[in-house]
Structure 1
Amino acid sequence: MTKDTSRVYYQLKWFVFLCALINSLTYSLTATAHVGSSGVIVQKQAGKYQLLIQVNPPDVVPGTAKVTVFVEQGRVSSIGARPIYFRSGDKGAPTHDVLTPVGDNRYEADLWLMASGSSSVELSIDGPDGKQQVVVPVMALATALRDMPAGTGWGLAAMGLLLVVMLITIIGASNADGIVAPDQSIGAALRRRRLLGMSIGLVVLVLILAGWRSWWNSTSEQYRTQQLYQPLPIHASVNVANGQRQLTIQIDTTDFKKNGRRRTLSYILPDHGKLMHAFLVRMPGLDAFAHLHPIRQDTLHYNVALPPLPGGKYLLYADVVYRSGFAETLTDTVEIPSLKISPEVAANAKPTDRDDSWLVTEPMGVKANAVNMPHLDNDMVVCGKPGASMKLEDGSSMLWMDKASPDLEAGKLYNLKFAVADAQGKAAPLEPYLGMGGHAAILRSDGTVYIHLHPVGTYSMAAEGSLVGRIADTARTFHYPDAAKFRDSIDTYVTKLNSLPEAEKNTLLMTAMPAMSHAMKTNNMVEFPYAFPRAGHYRIWVQVKRNGRVLTGVFDTQVNEPLL
């Protein structure tokens, strides 16, 4: 290689490196920045370890998920984490990344999620108390678009222009230097050859840049129309027949062919024995609440009889889980008409599902001085600690235990702990409700934050079971069974399950989800790990079961931005 050729070669390498740098900067600034998200929170026992886990997935994929593990009990030497996608399973997953200790019994890591879809984070815990593995369901979804800052764009444009000029000059110089000795004077022929080389280089570069721009626009459009998550639309309506209001939820598949965003609607799994958990909350006071379980009529339609809720505009949140472990909340607003019926008709009205429950209470923000109203301020001392209380429909009281302060902080992990005492103030034992110690729903006053909570965290039993089973599968790819047969088998299972006696049904549900077992030290308490994602005014509905009856407590709290 001659001296001139070597010089040209290294100039070209430098040019390619800078082009790659510009491309990577452009992509990262437009597609991999993060915004706040509540993510997934899990609290569970794994052998001798009790862990509190928080995974904040990126809002743009590819991107990094923030994994934080608090070791609440047990001696840990190291924790590893790796993402496992449903479609590729264990065989297609990378090796574990080691989490970094950042404090007393706290470990953190940034974990790359390279593709959208249903995934999980597998944690491998090692220490003197043994080896354990925990699977945390995570939805890897692109939910945001990023605009490049104007200053960065102009800077990259100037750098790109400089690189183009450099490359044209390099091509012209190499075309001339390849046939003319370095010490020979430059004549007219040499100048023409150099200009010719530069002209050809300019044309080639223009074609390359035009092709690159076309590819970039195509990739960007694909991200917007296919990879960027859009909720599955539904249409909710209420019909009245024979003095009974019926809620119908219809799934809208109009855009399936247009944008390629399909859902495997025939492969919906039961979660806690129900194909759909629907929550209705009346706006603006959040004073009427219902937790219902619609029945599937066909692939696109679900029906449920409405309880005696007052008329008005309601927000609807419907939770479903697919065979892939992908969990989704479908949302809509629905106008429920007021209905005047006789006491006899009301008494004979039966819910669609025996586990349906509802509550009508005071509007949000009312400072209560009487029973059966939500309490904004501490009004009771329980075991020497302040707590909020509410009288339940059976005469017992629900107490918010160990509330850190009247106002909570956004982004901070809390254990929301509630206890039930009977009319005499003694601990009131609780029964399993849908296979668990209790359920909770949290809603921000404007409806923009909603979560369905379990004692083990913010994920669903069905999602965990599906992903754990996929990891145990040795197949590199997953093949779905026949859609009609699968749907029919699930409908048969749900019907049979709901016909069982309550004790037998709960035993079957708890056996099917051992990883979600979260036994309390006292059987009148239930707790939920949660971090409020945004400041605002929140209402919390806590549902437990006692003497065969679902009881709902309601509490309000203010959440502020964290103190600096």
Structure 2
Amino acid sequence: MRRAGFHAGLSLVVAVAMLLAAPRAWAHVGSKDVFEQVDAGPYKLFVTIRPPTVIPGVAAIEVRSSGAAVDSIEITPMPMTGEAAKHPPTPDTMKRSADDRAFFTGNLWMMASGSWEVRFRIAGAEGEQVAAVPVPAIALQTLKMKRGLGMVLGLLGLLLVFGMVGIVGAAVRDARLEPGAGPSADRRLRAGFAMVAALVVMAFAVWGGAKWWNVEAASYSRDIYHPLVMTPVLTGNQLQLQITAFKPKVKEVWRESRGRSNNDFLPDHGHLMHLYAIRWPEMDVAFHLHPALTGKGLFEDALPAMPPGEYHLYADVVHANGFPETLTATLDVPAGTQGGALGPEDAAGRPAPVSSGMLGASYTLPDGYVMVWDKPAVIHATTGYAFRFRLMGPDGKPAADMQPYLGMAGHAAFVKTDGTVFAHTHPEGSAAMAAVMLADASTGGSTNTGMSGDMPGMAMDMPMNATPMSNVVEFPYGFPTPGRYRVFVQMKHGGTVETGVFDVMVN
């Protein structure tokens, strides 16, 4: 919310401007939409949630169903935690497409910033099921009013001011005249004084409206989301990441930070932090690491052997209320740094530099295995896809010794080559798994499969039966903007974590 084109300073302009303000929100870096594959009993849903651009605001929701036939879907917005989570509003019914009976759309109001969930009640031939998808909704920025609209509203405001002054003058001058009589000089003089007084009163009203506007704008600005600050310090190969609260320029603390701490993190796949370190600008070295929490807001890790250079750090954490954050920083690794061995749950990849050209849909790994991306011929921005990857053995056959990596069939990071987008995703979708588990627990049962049991009291361990794992993994995701992206995919076979790397140009 920012004053623009507010020439008359009228409260009318203020009110309209508030309605036009459009903050944006996202959980990953530059990637706000949520893409999730949900298993609700016999029903399979591919869910796309586009969080509101105004807080309070409306989230747009799309669902494509498969599996058992779905007759109807009801959706309800709920905070993930707190008293309001116990009192859900009346659900809305999604609209079924007339052209595609498996496609549903709907809209929901999200009334405050923070960690939300959308609860789905699915009805069909196989009965009713309930599922939930977490949605972080945060005001990230504000937009100016369009100059033309501001000028129009300003002119209308001036018209109202001078119209009111004219009405006061006419009332004093002509209100008590007999029919056909003209005003005397004394009446005209009193009317002039009345008009001046009215103008002064209106000026004070405008000034008061402007003051009110500035207070509201400042209050709204304090709600703008700022991630926690991550400061890296490298001593030898010992990396320290100090997490602290964002310190605004104004004295008042950002209100939403009261719900986020540097000491309230939930485990996600057995780790409190998932750290991607990508060498920039060529993106030719990438690590997926897991620093340990050693003090309040302090994470530490012994780095493996890393080629020197500037690394962009992306650290995923999840707060106790289910709100995910990706903290960012830059780390310079000097030449001669002696690193240790790669951790058993860490991963590394060394693809060709981005400047050498586009990587293809097949990536040969150092041990002879090959990862293949069944990439669509054309990929459009803002469209949800289930991207499918396969791990093949050196003999060209599907890898037969597959194992879960951090409790999942795989992990993927979608990174734009200009650094504006980073998203760490899983086979269930782009939402953080710890948040998914919180939302899932709120429904009274497990509707999302394949999750690792990270959180106390949640029996959601990934089934470990005799059935071999597939060499195929799918990641629901939609690229937020056009441009070139590099995709890092981790899958595990035997005791080896493989990192396949692919490039894609998004239309």
Q: TM-score, normalised by structure 1?
A: 0.76
- Whole-Å separation in 1 of the counterparts to 2:216 and 2:275: 37
1:228 is aligned to 2:224: yes
2:316 match? 319
Paired AA for residue 253 in structure 1: A
- Say whether the 8 Å CA contact 1:323–1:466 is kept in structure 2: no
Q: 1:28 aligns with which of 12, 19, 26?
A: 19
- Whole-Å separation in 2 of the counterparts to 1:40 and 1:219: 30
Distance 1:126 1:214, change over 3 A: same
- Say whether the 8 Å CA contact 2:173–2:183 is kept in structure 1: no
SS of 2:21's equivalent?
A: helix
1:423 match? 394
- Whole-Å separation in 1 of the counterparts to 2:173 and 2:130: 65
- Whole-Å separation in 2 of the counterparts to 1:184 and 1:557: 83
- Say whether the 8 Å CA contact 1:76–1:126 is kept in structure 2: yes
2:242 match? 250
1:392 is aligned to 2:356: no
1:219 match? 216
1:376 is aligned to 2:348: no
SS of 2:394's equivalent?
A: coil
Distance 1:336 1:318, change over 3 A: same
The gaps in structure 2 that reach 5 residues or longer are 1-9, 445-450
Paired AA for residue 253 in structure 2: G
- Whole-Å separation in 1 of the counterparts to 2:302 and 2:73: 48
1:413 match? 384
- Whole-Å separation in 1 of the counterparts to 2:204 and 2:144: 26
1:354 is aligned to 2:344: yes
1:204 is aligned to 2:201: yes
Percent identity (aligned): 36
Shift of 1:37: 5.3
1:296 match? 293
Shift of 1:289: 0.9
SS of 1:267's equivalent?
A: coil
Distance 1:174 1:108, change over 3 A: farther
Q: Map 1:258-337; keep pairs closer than 5 Å.
A: 258-261=251-254, 262=257, 263-337=260-334
1:59 match? 53
1:445 match? 417
1:494 match? none
- Whole-Å separation in 2 of the counterparts to 1:81 and 1:20: 37
- Say whether the 8 Å CA contact 1:307–1:358 is kept in structure 2: no
1:289-320 deviation digits (Å, cap 9, x = unpaired): 11111011211211111111211110100001
1:90 is aligned to 2:85: yes
Paired AA for residue 449 in structure 1: V
Q: 1:137 aligns with which of 134, 137, 144?
A: 134
- Whole-Å separation in 2 of the counterparts to 1:123 and 1:536: 33
Distance 1:76 1:118, change over 3 A: same
1:70-120 deviation digits (Å, cap 9, x = unpaired): 113332222222321234433454322222223412222232222212222
1:104-162 deviation digits (Å, cap 9, x = unpaired): 12222232222212222222222333222222211111122211122111110111111
Shift of 1:433: 1.4
Q: Map 1:393-542; keep pairs closer than 5 Å.
A: 393-401=366-374, 403-405=375-377, 407-429=378-400, 430-469=402-441, 512=458, 514=460, 523-542=470-489
Paired AA for residue 64 in structure 1: V
- Whole-Å separation in 2 of the counterparts to 1:515 and 1:176: 84
- Whole-Å separation in 2 of the counterparts to 1:510 and 1:542: 29
SS of 1:155's equivalent?
A: helix
The gaps in structure 1 that reach 5 residues or longer are 1-18, 368-374, 378-387, 473-504
Paired AA for residue 66 in structure 1: A
- Say whether the 8 Å CA contact 1:60–1:144 is kept in structure 2: no
Distance 1:296 1:173, change over 3 A: same
- Whole-Å separation in 1 of the counterparts to 2:178 and 2:56: 49
- Whole-Å separation in 1 of the counterparts to 2:15 and 2:164: 20
Shift of 1:228: 1.2
Distance 1:510 1:389, change over 3 A: farther
- Say whether the 8 Å CA contact 2:407–2:462 is kept in structure 1: no
- Whole-Å separation in 2 of the counterparts to 1:158 and 1:516: 64
SS of 1:131's equivalent?
A: strand
Paired AA for residue 201 in structure 1: A
- Say whether the 8 Å CA contact 1:247–1:303 is kept in structure 2: yes
- Say whether the 8 Å CA contact 2:285–2:349 is kept in structure 1: yes
- Whole-Å separation in 2 of the counterparts to 1:545 and 1:408: 27
2:39 match? 45
- Whole-Å separation in 1 of the counterparts to 2:142 and 2:24: 9
Paired AA for residue 94 in structure 1: P
- Whole-Å separation in 1 of the counterparts to 2:202 and 2:82: 40
- Whole-Å separation in 1 of the counterparts to 2:495 and 2:251: 48
- Whole-Å separation in 2 of the counterparts to 1:466 and 1:135: 9
Comparing 452-461 with 355-364, greater Cα deviation is found at 355-364
- Whole-Å separation in 2 of the counterparts to 1:92 and 1:508: 27
Paired AA for residue 302 in structure 2: A
Shift of 1:174: 5.6
- Whole-Å separation in 2 of the counterparts to 1:506 and 1:132: 22
RMSD of Structure 2 on Structure 1 (CA): 3.3
Shift of 1:404: 1.4
Paired AA for residue 52 in structure 1: F
Paired AA for residue 235 in structure 1: T
Shift of 1:47: 1.6
Distance 1:340 1:324, change over 3 A: closer
- Whole-Å separation in 1 of the counterparts to 2:365 and 2:92: 48
Distance 1:174 1:128, change over 3 A: farther
Q: 2:160 aligns with which of 156, 163, 174?
A: 163
- Whole-Å separation in 1 of the counterparts to 2:478 and 2:212: 41
1:177-228 deviation digits (Å, cap 9, x = unpaired): 88x487484544655665555444333322222111101011112222x111
SS of 1:332's equivalent?
A: strand
- Say whether the 8 Å CA contact 1:38–1:532 is kept in structure 2: no
Distance 1:95 1:167, change over 3 A: farther
SS of 2:263's equivalent?
A: helix
Shift of 1:397: 2.0
- Say whether the 8 Å CA contact 1:89–1:471 is kept in structure 2: no
1:237 match? 233
Distance 1:468 1:247, change over 3 A: same
- Say whether the 8 Å CA contact 2:61–2:106 is kept in structure 1: yes
Shift of 1:469: 4.9
SS of 1:266's equivalent?
A: coil
Q: How many residue pairs were aligned?
A: 478
